[in-house]
Amino acid sequence: MTQKIRVGAVQAEPAWIDLQGGVDKTIQLIQQASRDGVNVLGFPEVWIPGYPWIIWTRSVVESTELMHDYMANSMSRTSPEMARICAAVKEAGIFVVLGYSERDGASLYIAQSFISTEGKIVHHRRKVKPTHVERSIWGDGQADSLKSVVDTPFGKVGGLNCWEHLQPLLRYYEYCQGVQVHVASWPPMFPLPDPKELKWPYHETAEASLRASQFLAIEGQSFVILSTQVITEGNLEKLNLLGVKVIQAPGGGFSMIFGPDGKQLCEPWPAGKEGIMQTDIDLRDIDYAKALIDTVGHYSRPDLLSLLVNPKAAQTYQLMDS
């Protein structure tokens, strides 16, 4: 296993509700990461075909047509589009955690596919519990999505989506799997609006989301690749977001890379900047943090507190024995 690696966090605008355009841009970013020497690349939550903020800001009736198009432009895990991405990853020789809206039959899921340097999906998971109004669009992940860490040539790489970072038991189970490099996939998030114009919860802001990802680095003694989306003003009309006070365009980005002690390893970017935030890391530096606190090792008390995990995925039907 290589100890010294380069990691990259995507901060970019999706090809909104455009599956083919999203695949093209994904491949461009993978190729750029390869040229830059990146070994592990993280993409935002539902990078393909972008995060539909309309579900938080408009009624169901106002959202119907856009979400109909959104469903048509969500990506199947086994599809020509995914095959193109996997081929690009293989050619690039990097490891990718790809966030996308997965279409499985007539249902959608907030998915992450872990794609190896050989271009194979070595693990696939779905957001275990979509957040609030997200549940009107996406279904729940099952027990097989509790696994969130895989072995790679660049260490043990894990990933969670958005507010899964606020699920303490889910985080703890990832620590139990030995995560060393975590991909925190987020949608575009924004600063707290003026309370005189809009009452909005702090925990649904860019700052709070960044802190949640930073805390995972501290609590889990893991490097964290925080990947986010960007929205530009020219796409607000397409997304039915004109006049929405919480949206700031260009904006939405808050990407960062954290060390295993929670330190920011890069200078913050402007919220509207697009590209791949990158830094070189040494996995041996994890031991500096682990020597002080190992939440699933010497700093735990399993005789007093432990986690019960059901690893068996539920099925929609089972055939009875004849």
Does 193 sit behind a cis peptide bond, omega within 30 degrees of 0 on the bond before it? no
Q: Which member of 45, 102, 164, 174 is catalytic?
A: 45
Residue 307 Cα to chain centre, angstroms: 24
> Whole-angstrom Cα distance, residue 207 to residue 202?
8
Q: Cα-flanking dihedrals φ and ψ of residue 233, to 5°?
A: -60, -35
312 is catalytic: no
Q: Which residues are bridge partners to 279 per DSSP?
A: 7
Residues facing residue 227 across a β-bridge:
185
Rounded-to-integer distance, Cα 188 and Cα 251, Å? 8
Question: What is the spatial distance between Cα 297 and Cα 158, in angstroms, rounded to a whole number?
Answer: 18
Look up 86 and say whether it is catalytic. Answer: no
Phi first, then psi, for residue 66 (nearest 5°) are -65, -45
Among the options 25, 81, 86, 162, which is catalytic?
A: 162
Active-site choice (13, 25, 86, 127): 127
Separation of alpha carbons 176 and 75, rounded Å: 31
The verdict on whether 162 is a catalytic residue reads yes
Active site residues: 45, 127, 162
